[in-house]
Structure 1
Amino acid sequence: MTSTTVTSRKILPTTLAAALAAMLMVTGCSKQNNEETAATDTQAETAQSGNKTKTSAAEQANIDRLILSYSDMVQAAYQDSLDTAKVLQTAVNTYVATPTQTNLDAAKAAYKAARLPYSQTEVFRFDEGFVTANDKRAIGSIDGWEPQLNAWPLDEALIDYVSDGYEGEYNSKENIINSDSITVGSLKQDTKTITPEILAKMNEIGGSEANVTTGYHAIEFLLWGQDTNGVGEGAGNRPFSDYLTTDGQCTSGDTINKDVSICERRGQYLKAATQLLVDDLTAMQAQWQPDSENTLRSDMMARKDTNGLRQILYQMGSLALGELASQRMQVAFVTGSTEDEHECFSDLTHLSYANNALGIQNVFNGSYKTVEGKTIGGYGIKQYLIDTNHKDAADKLTADFKTVEDAFNVIVDKGENENIKVDQMIATVGQASKQGISAEEQNVRRGWIENAINGLKELTTGIENAASALGIDNLDADSGSQF
């Protein structure tokens, strides 16, 4: 990456409809912090407007079924995320032990597979203003837990070697892999031994959200390396020799290192980051086990009659507009910045986009399809709307989701089958012309992204309208930032 702009998510005082009417939503990177979210008590109090004082047996059955189905889907999605992360860990361990192109390709394939279920969990993240404080609970909220797994963009110069033209916040030649200690601002950190604990401690070192040392994207960078192709074809192309520990064969890109310690440390880092990923997902998966106590699931069950419904709708709207349409897509689309695509090293952004959208649709339909093909859930917002006499709102959202699905299907098809990746789709006409792409063709490519953004915006309006129909007059979902 060559630049980093980070903003924090906050709940705007306006409704989503007002935000949509104002202008295109654009903001920086999607990495979040939780300091600016609404207070739990305020959210819970406001949520009462969406729940009737007296609830009939049928109404109670509907909300019970909704919350149970939702919780089962959360549990299944995190179980899939954990299981695929373990497969990734096995592939990484094999690759580090025996660095070959075949083993590198296998680790990359395992990374790609691991991202698919995790990307569908991101709709569950937006819970900070809803969960009840509980000192006995191991994880306070998904929102507070998530940055260690999915923070981006990261300042890769802090981790490993970068190209000569790299421009980031961290610009020292010393990095975690090539040095026994690094200094960030006034902080000096011992990096002699690279462990999951050290990486977790260093995440966001110096208070900079760009100083990401953990999670999927650190692993992605260590497997692919920098993508120096800009808006041209091609992803990162880190050679497998970056992990060779034979004298005279250990490389850092085109450079042959004098000794093998750098390649040994690179392997240590990759294994430590993957172990931490598995550990974190293990902890989250445990939070959603049925009949558990002092967990996020038990808390959701306890709140089902107060702010459970509001939380679910808030999460759907926040991922659709504030996160996916605004922070992940529109920033890159408006600026033509490849640094703002979510999987910028591997060029797998088309899949993370589509699976983020699918995660929202899963909650609407009340159906999550596991990696093994089993359907989990059975009752979602769609059926809840129908059962509470709001079929028109359900039908409108069904149509909106179809529009969004169709738009992302195009993006995925182009990325998977025609090798036209998101970094090529977001290029401005001027940037594309330098790659030999005509203005007419590039406007078609940009139209694929624009259609998806517009579909998400319309979808969010439908979510807000559905919330209003259910008595939640001001959803206040995250609507991103304006410029």
Structure 2
Amino acid sequence: MLKALAAASVAILLAATTAAIAADAPSTAAVAKNYADIAEASFTDTLIEARKLKAAVDTLIKSPTEDNLVAARKAWIAARVPYMQTEAFRFGNKIVDDWEGRVNAWPLDEGLIDYVSQEYADQGGSNNDLYAANVIANPKLKIGGEEVDATKITKELLSDKLREADGVESNVSTGYHAVEFLLWGQDLNGTGPGAGKRPATDYDTKNCTGGNCDRRAQYLETVTNLLVDDLAFMAAQWGPEGAARKAVMADDGRAGLVALMKGLGSLSYGELAGERMKLGLLIHDPEEEQDCFSDNTHNAHYYDALGIKNVYLGSYKRTDGTIVSGRSASDLVKAKSPEADTRTRAAIDKTLQHMQAIVDRANSVEAYDQMIGEGNAAGNAVVDQTIQALIAQAKEFERDIAALELTAIEFEGSDSLDSPGGVR
């Protein structure tokens, strides 16, 4: 009798708890608003840090010393921290996905921009006539059989004429990675230790190395200014009257919820686990790492994963330490299925633990491009364990979508995961 009463009491308590959780469920509009608020804060932080990068670049150009080059590199790395956290907004929001190639396209054929090693140039670009065009050294170019005047390196030249010129995606002339290459130069170490080693004298017109120091400075200044412009545009899209905010608030915020879940699943699975990590691991190619010139890839991956956590939990810590938070996808999932929310939170935490292991290894043992090197069993394992955690995380997002009764959400895929036998 006592056991029956105890069981009944537990059942009543569980029912009451479930009812209380359901009663506290936020509206989709509240979740979408907080999603937009976090996006606005995240992109605003990227803009703030990019302006600091611009100031450091301006100082380097004015006074091309090794100390100023190091300061500009540090500013670039700092600028990547908030930007990578914005990538959770990419795949579900067309306005972000269409724009992303302007600021974060990779990998790039760096010979389009500046001098490269003879070995690299000799590899040739069978599918890219501009593989080693070197716009910094050549004020006249031919693109698609037409002559292009590059006498003055302008925003229009970089953004309209050179970006994806001849329809080749690796003709990347703008964005973070173009700036990265101009600050570090090529990483010629393969899967050995070391990043790019561009000297500050590449910008010193009085003691010039690499040739064309005036045009190199002009390119760096222009591409950095263009990055600031592009980030200012996107930050405005999430403001009170911005097109991105209006889009996610449609249908009482349901459009935002769909965008949120698609973005989390796609970044977890197809983009981060697949294109950014599994591909490089399959072919052991140091060129297939996100921040390849600076050896900053471990941080890039970590902050991508942190951005996923920010969006699911509805809380973002800004670079000034303040917190933007509100009702979240986690709250909605918990109201429908507390078990599903618990599983998702655990999967996110596990992914971040594995990402931290990559960061710790990069800071104490070897860089990310070494981790994915052929024959490096220990490094390969650390990366692969993280990939598996990301895949498991994406599966939990699929379960969340089912719990929320959302339909027609398909995550971005990757041949590296879906058809690895065909990857070369």
Percent identical pairs in the alignment equals 39
Change (3 A) 1:172 1:393: closer
Which of 103, 110, 117 is residue 163 of structure 1 equivalent to?
A: 117
Partner amino acid, structure 2, of 1:346? S
Change (3 A) 1:212 1:172: closer
Partners of 2:164 and 2:378 in 1: CA distance = 38
Shift of 1:198: 1.4
Shift of 1:360: 0.7
Residues 116-138 of structure 1 deviation map (CA, whole Å, 9 limit, x = unaligned): 10000011111356xxxxxxxxx
After TM superposition, the score normalised by the length of structure 2 is 0.89
Q: Any residues of structure 2 matched to 1:258-337 within 5 Å, and which? A: 262-290=212-240, 292=241, 295-337=243-285
SS at match of 1:251: coil
Q: Any residues of structure 2 matched to 1:139-178 within 5 Å, and which? A: 141-166=95-120, 167=123, 168=125, 169-170=128-129, 174-178=133-137
Count how many residue pairs are aligned between Structure 1 and Structure 2: 390
Partners of 1:263 and 1:419 in 2: CA distance = 36
Shift of 1:172: 6.4
Look up the match of 2:373.
Answer: 427
Partners of 1:206 and 1:229 in 2: CA distance = 30
Change (3 A) 1:128 1:289: closer
Calculate the aligned-residue CA RMSD, in Å: 1.7
Determine if contact 2:93/2:259 at 8 Å carries over to the other structure: no
SS at match of 1:376: strand
Look up the match of 1:71.
Answer: 36
Q: Any residues of structure 2 matched to 1:367-378 within 5 Å, and which? A: 367-378=315-326
SS at match of 2:67: helix
Residues 252-278 of structure 1 deviation map (CA, whole Å, 9 limit, x = unaligned): 1xxxx4xxxx10000000000000000
Which of 78, 100, 104 is residue 65 of structure 2 equivalent to?
A: 100
Q: Any residues of structure 2 matched to 1:70-219 within 5 Å, and which? A: 70-127=35-92, 141-166=95-120, 167=123, 168=125, 169-170=128-129, 174-201=133-160, 202-219=162-179
Look up the match of 1:54.
Answer: none
Shift of 1:186: 1.8
Shift of 1:345: 0.4
Residues 148-190 of structure 1 deviation map (CA, whole Å, 9 limit, x = unaligned): 1011111111100001111343466642100111123423221
Determine if contact 1:310/1:472 at 8 Å carries over to the other structure: yes
SS at match of 2:311: helix
Look up the match of 1:231.
Answer: 191
Change (3 A) 1:304 1:424: farther
Q: Any residues of structure 2 matched to 1:441-480 within 5 Å, and which? A: 442-473=376-407, 475-480=409-414
Partner amino acid, structure 1, of 2:358? I
Determine if contact 1:158/1:170 at 8 Å carries over to the other structure: no
Larger Rg: 2
Residues 190-249 of structure 1 deviation map (CA, whole Å, 9 limit, x = unaligned): 110001221111211111101110000000000000000000000000011111111xx2
Partners of 2:200 and 2:331 in 1: CA distance = 50
Q: Give runs of ≥4 in structure 1 deviating > 2 Å.
A: 57-62, 167-174, 302-308, 472-475
Shift of 1:107: 0.1
Determine if contact 1:366/1:377 at 8 Å carries over to the other structure: yes
Which of 340, 345, 362 is residue 288 of structure 2 equivalent to?
A: 340
5+ residue gaps, structure 2, are 1-21
Is 1:400–2:354 an aligned residue pair?
A: no
Change (3 A) 1:160 1:221: same
Change (3 A) 1:69 1:372: same
Partners of 2:369 and 2:228 in 1: CA distance = 29
Partners of 1:396 and 1:70 in 2: CA distance = 21
Change (3 A) 1:172 1:60: closer
Determine if contact 2:332/2:404 at 8 Å carries over to the other structure: no
Partners of 2:131 and 2:24 in 1: CA distance = 60
Shift of 1:474: 5.1
SS at match of 2:174: coil
Determine if contact 2:26/2:327 at 8 Å carries over to the other structure: no
RCO higher in structure (CA 8 A, sep ≥6): 1
Partners of 2:194 and 2:200 in 1: CA distance = 17
5+ residue gaps, structure 1, are 1-56, 130-140, 430-441
Partners of 1:64 and 1:195 in 2: CA distance = 43
Partner amino acid, structure 2, of 1:75? E
Look up the match of 1:26.
Answer: none
SS at match of 1:189: strand
Partners of 1:304 and 1:271 in 2: CA distance = 43
SS at match of 1:198: helix
Residues 398-436 of structure 1 deviation map (CA, whole Å, 9 limit, x = unaligned): 1101110110001111213x151110100110xxxxxxx
Determine if contact 2:271/2:414 at 8 Å carries over to the other structure: yes
After TM superposition, the score normalised by the length of structure 1 is 0.78
Residues 52-104 of structure 1 deviation map (CA, whole Å, 9 limit, x = unaligned): xxxxx968842122111111100000010000000000000000110000000
Look up the match of 2:14.
Answer: none
Partner amino acid, structure 2, of 1:265? R
